């Protein structure tokens, strides 16, 4: 049996039957083929087809748990398969913007790197809002973590997800309300974001409704480059709901070390206005869902005192 035939057969069964088929049957298939076929299959296991099938198999398994969040609590995951796109920066500063506006929220640091947690342990943090490290591997553990960590007044949970599409991100997609995907102007980052978008779409199909909603956010954008200028309009032309552009700023490079956020800046500062616009965008998206009277009523109000003015410069629909 030639290597090409082996890979073709296994590819077919992976896409039809998911990861479990490969785990159970690929050793038997390989027993009768030579080392070249084994090497070919090893390459295939790293391919996009195999990775997609693996993610979809995990999604199906997690979806069987069918657990729901506490009533009246909105959950927003910040996700991307690739690091370096400003994911933690967005999660921290978005949470800080909501906290400055008086919202009761929780930030879950589900990234094993713990960057968000370390950020909040620096000298200027001043305990602005609760942050908790979380190990999320299933829908059940996600729901349980939220239930055990929030207080009676919490109505918003923001999750900083790891730079991968492992079980943590899949569980949040299956139980969350909105996934925010930061995308830089790099072609490599655009390719990586495609897998995250596909995962959100698959989770929505499994849930049989409109959740989780998806917003893509141009991140770390340099307006001096042609790619940076065209990214938001290009994403809109592809049919995405696009949030406000988050520009590359020197101040964010040192913010984590100091424990500071955009809430420390003047209200009229460009960075703070951008995050006010992002917070308004998030609340507008959550307002499309029936999340209970508390969240729905708040979604009709500006997310922060300067959000209304900031949103006029946003690219969000």
Q: Cα dist. 198→70, 94, 132, 182 in Å?
A: 27, 24, 28, 15
Tell me the per-residue pLDDT of 110-166, one tens digit each, with 9 for 90 and over.
999 999 999 988 867 766 799 999 999 889 999 999 999 999 999 999 999 998 877
8 A C-beta contact, residue 11 and residue 51: no
Q: Cα dist. 146→68, 135, 174, 250 in Å?
A: 11, 11, 14, 34
- Helix ranges restricted to H, 166-246: 167-175, 187-207, 226-237
Q: Which residue has the higher pLDDT, 208 or 315?
A: 208
Residue 38 C-beta-side C-alpha neighbours within 13 Å: 8
pLDDT, position 103: 93
pLDDT band at 46; cut points 50, 70, 90:
low
Is the pLDDT score of 29 beyond 90?
no
- Residue among 276, 270, 254, 273 at smallest CA distance from 124: 254
At residue 22, the 3 state secondary structure works out as helix
Tell me the per-residue pLDDT of 47-66, one tens digit each, with 9 for 90 and over.
566 666 667 667 777 777 76
Q: Which residue has the higher pLDDT, 315 or 92?
A: 92
Rg of the chain over Cα atoms, rounded to whole angstroms, equals 21
Question: What contacts 184, CB < 8 A, 6 or more positions away?
Answer: 84, 85, 86, 218, 219, 220, 221
pLDDT band at 288; cut points 50, 70, 90:
very high
Overall CATH class of domain 74-313: alpha beta
DSSP β-ladder status, 178-183 and 213-221: parallel
8 A C-beta contact, residue 173 and residue 199: yes
Q: Cα dist. 189→79, 82, 158 in Å?
A: 12, 7, 22
Helix 48-63 and helix 3-17: axis angle, to 10°? 30
pLDDT band at 311; cut points 50, 70, 90:
very low
Q: Cα dist. 184→109, 153, 166 in Å?
A: 22, 35, 21
Q: Which residue has the higher pLDDT, 308 or 273?
A: 273
Using the structure block, give the residue that is written with the tokens 């200028």.
229
Domain boundary assignment for the chain: 3-63, 74-313
Question: What contacts 10, CB < 8 A, 6 or more positions away?
Answer: 22, 26, 29, 41, 44
pLDDT band at 33; cut points 50, 70, 90:
very low
Average pLDDT value over all residues in the chain: 80
Q: What is the pTM of this model?
A: 0.78
Would you call 64 exposed, middle or buried from its count of C-beta atoms within 10 A (0-12, 13-18, 19+)? exposed
Is the pLDDT score of 275 beyond 80?
yes
Average pLDDT over residues 162-189: 89
- Helix ranges restricted to H, 18-138: 19-30, 35-45, 48-63, 87-100, 115-119
pLDDT band at 213; cut points 50, 70, 90:
very high
Is the pLDDT score of 232 beyond 90?
yes
pLDDT band at 254; cut points 50, 70, 90:
confident
For residue 226, give both structure tokens: 């042609």
């Amino acid at each position: 049996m030639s290597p090409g035939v082996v890979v073709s057969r296994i590819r077919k069964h992976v896409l039809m039957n998911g990861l479990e088929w490969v785990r159970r049957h690929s050793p038997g298939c390989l027993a009768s083929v030579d080392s070249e076929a084994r090497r070919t299959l090893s390459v295939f296991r790293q391919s996009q087809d195999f990775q997609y099938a693996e993610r979809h198999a995990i999604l199906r398994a997690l979806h069987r748990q069918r657990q729901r969040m506490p009533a009246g609590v909105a959950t927003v995951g910040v996700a991307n398969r690739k690091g370096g796109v400003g994911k933690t920066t967005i999660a921290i500063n978005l949470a800080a913007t909501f906290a400055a506006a008086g919202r009761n929220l929780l930030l879950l640091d589900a990234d094993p790197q713990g960057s968000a947690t370390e950020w909040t342990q620096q000298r200027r943090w001043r305990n602005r809002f609760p942050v908790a490290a979380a190990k999320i591997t299933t829908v059940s553990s996600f729901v349980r973590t939220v239930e055990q960590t929030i207080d009676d007044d919490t109505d918003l949970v923001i999750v900083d997800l790891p730079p991968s599409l492992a079980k943590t991100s899949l569980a949040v997609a299956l139980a969350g309300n909105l996934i925010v995907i930061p995308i830089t102007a790099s072609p490599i980052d655009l390719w990586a974001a495609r897998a995250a978008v596909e995962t959100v779409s698959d989770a929505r199909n499994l849930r049989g409704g409109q959740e989780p909603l998806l917003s893509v956010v141009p991140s770390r954008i340099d307006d001096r480059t042609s790619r940076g200028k065209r990214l938001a309009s290009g994403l809109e032309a592809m049919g995405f709901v696009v949030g406000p552009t988050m520009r590359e700023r020197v101040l964010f490079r040192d913010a984590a070390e100091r424990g500071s956020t955009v809430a420390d800046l003047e209200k009229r500062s460009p960075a703070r206005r951008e995050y006010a616009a992002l917070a308004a965008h998030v609340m507008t998206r959550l307002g499309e869902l029936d999340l209970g009277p508390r969240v729905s009523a708040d979604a009709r109000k500006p997310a922060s005192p300067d959000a209304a003015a900031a949103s006029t410069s946003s690219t969000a629909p």
